[in-house]
Amino acid sequence: MSTMLRGLTTVSFYATDLESAKKWYSEFLNMEPYFNVPGYVEFRIGDYQNELGIIASKYAPKGATENIGGAIIYWHVDNLQSTLDRLLSLGASIYQPILDRSGGKGEFVTASVVDPFGNILGIMTNKHYLEILVKKSND
């Protein structure tokens, strides 16, 4: 049986000042984008080299909102508090504070920020993600 959604490939954020967004994310991620063309930069990050693309706002789809909103993509992090602290120190603002979504078990804990360009960046510690990572490394 085939799976309809095979995995996260690219998350796209928009920024009116692409150069500032590129610098901000380069500093946060401690890396330069691997792909860089006029109007678009892309970083490969994480265990599966998922792509985070930053696109100049002038290329946003018709009807895209300038307001904060939409889906929140959560990226697994090893230390939620220190990652949140780093994001805040770089000028992000709290969208949602740290929340334990596993009924106090600490298995799925999230937080999210609004980056200086108006995008919501979700971070989380996720027991399931770590289990899958271990399973993949043992295969």
Domains of the chain (ranges; CATH) run 1-59 (3.10.180.10), 71-139 (3.10.180.10)
As a whole number, mean pLDDT of residues 99-120 equals 93
pLDDT at site 69: 67
Query: In this predicted model, what pLDDT tens digit does every residue of 68-77 receive, in sequence order?
Result: 767 789 999 9
Q: Which two tokens stand for residue 46?
A: 């994480």
Check whether 49 has a pLDDT greater than 70: yes
Entry field: residues in the chain: 139
pLDDT at site 1: 60
pLDDT at site 71: 77
CA distance 51 to 49: 6
Check whether 104 has a pLDDT greater than 70: yes
Find, among 42, 65, 68, the residue nearest to 55 by Cα. 42
- Which of 11-25, 29-43, 78-92, 123-137 comes out lowest in average pLDDT? 123-137
Beta bridge partners of 76: 124
The number of angstroms, rounded, from the C-alpha of 117 to the middle of its chain's C-alpha atoms is 13
CA distance 52 to 131: 23
pTM of the entire predicted model? 0.86
